[in-house]
Amino acid sequence: MCWSYSSRTADIYYNGVKAGSITTPLERRLDTGGSLVLGQYQNDREIFTKHGNRYTFGGELLKLNIFSKKFSDEEVRAMFQAGMCSDIEDTYESYRRLTWESIIEQPRRGNVELVDSVISCTSAGSGEETVSEMTGEEITTHN
């Protein structure tokens, strides 16, 4: 997802292709400070008080970064096509505000675990296929 505070638009992508856009209400404010909650639905009244399976994300997160730039369709497509084993996010280092490395160092609540992972990556270049492995850590949640 790419969201712009100034234009109030969020673009949703699936496999590097824009799947849709929404516009947030004009009166919506972005409050700073507080906590970033990943994988858990929250509202103002229930923040950190209501953790239930029906409110959780079940799956894996890997290489999540938060940037201060809204990426173009072409940039999102290039990131997807580069694959998980690439370091394309380093191209946008000056815009990176929250790194994957800083996320996995934070305390976790709920049914979340940090696991070592090995991801096999296949890339085709100049007619030749190469396989590489990326070793890292991922966050897994279970419902």
- How wide is the angle at C-alpha 59 spanned by C-alphas 57 and 62, nearest 5°? 110
Model pLDDT for residues 115-139, shown as the tens digit of each residue: 776 666 655 444 444 444 555 555 5
Matching residue, tokens 């990943």: 38
- Separation between Cα atoms, residue 139 and residue 104, nearest integer Å: 8
Pairing between β-strand 2-4 and β-strand 59-61 as defined by DSSP bridges: unpaired
Percentage of residues in the chain having pLDDT higher than 70: 62
Is pLDDT above 50 for 89? yes
Helix (H, G, I), strand (E, B) or coil at 59: strand
Is pTM beyond 0.75 here? no
What DSSP character marks residue 33? S
- Of residues 74 and 34, the one with the higher pLDDT is 74
